């Protein structure tokens, strides 16, 4: 596992101000768990309040529009997110790709717009069950990476990749540790090919998909797993802190 694992909670379309108490509780405990880098991506409507309530953890967004501004009703630019307190943006989540028809090129444009305003970006990739069953998981993910990752000088420095097999999201099912290891090694090779040995080696690769306290130790111990992107189990401080505690304990051993 990475020197300092990165554990990110994606609240998806969950949360009103009543949930800020969970963010506060996570933040207070994060103070005691400095061995782990902790972040939350609440819905747009809670970014500003979460940033104010939780001063230690990272706070980010689940998406953005690729343009700087303009006639895009209902959309939000990276600069607006930064202004409301976000420090990073997740782009290319499979739910965005499925619900909003986002293609690799759209994801890349969003990622580049995030970097252009100086924020970090988490780019999500992952295969469907059909693709895995057909033996195409690694080639599908490599193609997504080549099409979705931001290009340009220094792009790798503020980049994190999240591998989230679509069939493991919200299902309680996870790949085997060997499959996670093989995929993360394959992702690392693509990163090195794209960004060079040095920069490509530094990009963190998170695993996401049904991570919970009970399976966190084995998933985080897989080859080249630098942390986790957590959905359902990040919605309560109790569940999320359980995962964070596992990651912290692994750092101590
Ligand atoms: P679950 O942890 O609920 O499976 O969600 C994973 C995910 O999609 C995080 O982005």
Average pLDDT of 213-219?
Answer: 98
pLDDT digits over 198-214, tens only?
999 999 999 999 999 99
Q: Determine if ligand 1 sits within 6 Å of the CB of residue 210.
A: yes
Q: According to the model, what pLDDT value does residue 18 have? A: 96
| pLDDT tens profile 55-74 | 999 999 999 999 999 999 99
User: Does 217 map to a domain?
Assistant: yes
pLDDT score recorded for residue 1 = 57
Task: Look at residue 189 and tell me if it is in a domain.
Answer: yes
**Rounded to whole angstroms, how far apart are CA atoms 104 and 101?**
10
Q: For residues 112, 113, 119 and 121, what is the CA-based torsion angle, rounded to 10 degrees?
A: -50
Give the pLDDT mean for 235-247.
Answer: 97
How confident is the model at residue 32, as a pLDDT?
80
Nearest to 223 by CA among 189, 180, 172: 180
Q: What is the pLDDT of residue 252?
A: 80
Residue 37 bridge partners (DSSP): 6
Span from the CA of 153 to the centroid of ligand 1 (angstroms): 31
Pair of tokens at residue 30:
């994060």
CA dihedral 128→64→192→177, nearest 10 degrees, is -40
Domain span holding position 23: 6-252
Q: How many domains does the chain have?
A: 1
Mean pLDDT within 139-157: 95
Looking at the domain assignment, is residue 106 inside a domain? Answer: yes
Q: Is residue 1 part of a domain?
A: no
Which residues does the annotation mark as catalytic?
Answer: 93, 164
What ligand 1 atom has the least distance to the C-alpha of 208?
A: 6
Using CA atoms, how far apart are residues 209 and 232, in angstroms rounded to an integer? 9
pLDDT of residue 30: 84
pLDDT of residue 77: 98
pLDDT tens for 1-47 read 557 999 999 999 999 999 999 999 999 998 888 899 999 999 999 99
For residue 131, the CA-to-ligand 1 centroid distance in Å is 19
Is residue 104 domain-resident? yes
Q: Determine the distance separating the centroid of ligand 1 and the alpha carbon of 146, expressed in angstroms.
A: 23
Q: How far is CA 101 from the centre of its chain?
A: 19
**pLDDT tens digits for 78-128?**
999 999 999 999 999 999 999 999 999 999 999 999 999 999 999 999 999
Is 10 touching ligand 1 by the criterion CB < 6 Å? yes
Q: Is the CB of 231 under 6 A from ligand 1?
A: yes
Q: Which atom of ligand 1 is nearest to the CA of 12?
A: 10
Q: How far is CA 250 from CA 104, 174, 218, in A?
A: 35, 20, 10
CA distance 34 to 42: 21
Give the C-alpha separation, 184 to 127, whole Å: 13
Q: Which atom of ligand 1 is nearest to the CA of 211?
A: 2
Alpha carbon 81 to its chain's center: 16
CA dihedral 117, 118, 119, 120 (to 10 degrees): 130
As a whole number of angstroms, the distance between CA 47 and CA 215 comes to: 29
Percent of the chain with pLDDT over 90: 94
- Mean pLDDT value across residues 216-224: 98
Is residue 227 lining ligand 1, measured as CB closer than 6 Å?
Answer: no
What's residue 76's pLDDT? 98
Query: What Cα–Cα distance (Å) separates residue 212 from each residue in 4, 27, 160?
Result: 19, 18, 20
Instruction: Quote the pTM value.
Output: 0.98
Contact 26, 38 (CB under 8 A): yes
Q: Which atom of ligand 1 is nearest to the CA of 233?
A: 2
Per-residue pLDDT averaged across 142-151, rounded?
97
Question: Measuring from atom 7 of ligand 1, which residue has the nearest CA?
Answer: 231
Report the pLDDT value the prediction gives residue 152, as an integer from 0 to 100: 82
pLDDT for position 2: 58
Q: What is the CATH number of the domain that holds 170?
A: 3.20.20.70
Write out the two tokens for 155.
């792009």
Protein residue whose Cα sits closest to atom 1 of ligand 1: 231
């Amino acid at each position: 596992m990475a020197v300092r694992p990165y554990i990110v909670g994606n609240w998806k379309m969950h949360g009103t101000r009543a949930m800020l108490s969970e963010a506060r509780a996570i933040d207070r405990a994060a103070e005691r768990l400095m061995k782990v880098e902790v972040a939350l991506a609440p819905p747009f409507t809670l970014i500003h309040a979460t940033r104010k309530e939780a001063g230690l953890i990272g706070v980010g967004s689940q998406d953005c529009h690729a343009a700087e501004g303009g006639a895009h009703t209902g959309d939000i630019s990276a600069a607006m997110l930064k202004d409301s307190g976000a420090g990073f943006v997740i782009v290319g989540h499979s739910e965005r790709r499925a619900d909003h028809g986002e293609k690799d090129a759209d994801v890349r444009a969003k990622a580049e717009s995030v970097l252009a305003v100086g924020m970090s970006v988490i780019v999500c990739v992952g295969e469907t069950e059909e693709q895995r069953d057909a033996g195409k998981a690694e080639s599908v993910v490599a193609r997504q990476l080549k099409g979705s990752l931001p290009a340009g000088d220094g792009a790798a420095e503020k980049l994190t990749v999240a591998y989230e097999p679509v069939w493991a999201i919200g299902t309680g099912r996870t790949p085997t540790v060997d499959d996670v290891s093989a995929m993360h090694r394959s992702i690392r090779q693509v990163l090195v090919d794209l960004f060079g040995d040095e920069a490509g080696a530094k990009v963190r690769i998170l695993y996401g998909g049904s991570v919970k306290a009970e399976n966190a130790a084995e998933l985080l111990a897989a080859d080249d797993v630098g942390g986790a992107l957590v959905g359902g189990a990040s919605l309560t401080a109790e569940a999320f802190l359980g995962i964070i505690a596992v990651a912290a304990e692994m750092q101590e051993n």
